[in-house]
Amino acid sequence: MTTKANGLTNLGLVQMACEPEPERNLARALESIRSAASGGAQIICLPELFRTQYFCQEENVDQFELAEPIPGPTTEALSRTARDCAVVVVGTVFERRTAGIYHNSAVVIDADGELLGIYRKMHIPDDPLYYEKFYFTPGDLGFRVFETRFGSVAPLICWDQWFPEAARLAALAGAEFLVFPSAIGWHPDEKEQHGKAQAEAWRIAHRAHAISNGAFVAAINRTGHERPLDGSPTRPMGYSGIEFWGRSFACNPLGVIVAEAGDRDEILIACCDRADVERTRRDWPFLRDRRIDSYGGLTRRAAK
């Protein structure tokens, strides 16, 4: 059995498009986990809400039917595959917690198949075609780290990427790996004008988390062009949907990208030396110098 004694961890990033039929996406995800595992990956991450298309492009109560409990069918299938392959799996689930409370939740499953726990997305977007506030109650578990067989993993989810607070709290809690299952893309209508800056800003935000915290960071995105269903009531950006930009990547604690995908489906494997976390933080001792006496204002909305 592989152990974490050697300090090296192979991170596996499954970049995939999602089809309309949930069972097909789940089957494909399980197959990709097996494939990544046979390629040497030890912590394998799936894109945000990989079991479905990105249903948040419209506000439609029928979509709540896609939710399921945790543990539930999806996490059980992920657990079996994690155990079979002896790998850690990070997946996200549209969680039905109770009637009227749904979350966008990540699960971390250890290499023996045990569900170590969940993280419920803390920062919820509401942007044209990303109507997540309609579906997802904001998480109430805070920022969490799970000790897995292959390292300490903090799952964060997509929109969380824009909040340095989230990455910092996860790092302070002991995370070596900050992993961001994501579903981010362009509005085709504005891609030509803003697309390059948007995708570059996304990379920079992630790399900056790695740098300021001295931790590995990975973003795992979906691909494909998904359009809102016919009959969707809300289409302010036109009918052209979202073109998910893929480009999943992993970077080391210096923010150097060590593996990066294109815009098609791909399984990336990034070799990470966990000793780089300690090494980088000795060279760049930012955590030593934080002015915790002066950060109280971070819990305020604004200074005025």
Which residues contact its own copies (rule: CB under 8 A)? Answer: 122-125, 127, 138, 142-143, 159, 162-166, 168-169, 172-174, 197-198, 200-201, 204-205, 207-208, 211-212, 254-256, 284-287, 289-304
Q: Which one of the listed residues 18, 85, 121, 176 is annotated catalytic?
A: 121
271 is catalytic: no
Identity of the residue, 59 or 276, whose beta carbon is nearer to its own copies in the bound complex: 276
Quote the least distance from Cβ 21 to its own copies, whole Å. 32
18 is catalytic: no
Q: Helices then strands (H, E): number in the chain? A: 7, 15
304 is catalytic: no
- Whether 54 contacts 92, CB under 8 Å: no
Nearest alpha carbon to residue 188 among 121, 123, 144, 242: 242
Quote the least distance from Cβ 284 to its own copies, whole Å. 7
| Residues 164, 290: Cα–Cα separation, whole Å | 14
Q: What are phi and psi of 83, to 5 degrees?
A: -65, -45
Q: Quote the Cα angle for 146-41-264, to 5°.
A: 105
CA 106 to chain centre: 8
Identity of the residue, 100 or 297, whose beta carbon is nearer to its own copies in the bound complex: 297
Identity of the residue, 51 or 144, whose beta carbon is nearer to its own copies in the bound complex: 144
End-to-end CA distance of the chain: 56
Quote the least distance from Cβ 290 to its own copies, whole Å. 6
Identity of the residue, 121 or 149, whose beta carbon is nearer to its own copies in the bound complex: 121
Q: Which residues contact 76 (CB under 8 A, 6 or more apart)?
A: none
Cα Rg for the chain, rounded, in angstroms? 18
Quote the least distance from Cβ 121 to its own copies, whole Å. 10
Query: Three-state SS for 203?
Result: helix
Six-digit token string for 241: 């949907």
Quote the least distance from Cβ 93 to its own copies, whole Å. 21
Q: Which one of the listed residues 56, 158, 251, 272 is annotated catalytic?
A: 158
Identity of the residue, 120 or 274, whose beta carbon is nearer to its own copies in the bound complex: 120
Q: Which one of the listed residues 18, 48, 132, 272 is annotated catalytic?
A: 48
Residues labelled as active-site residues: 48, 121, 158
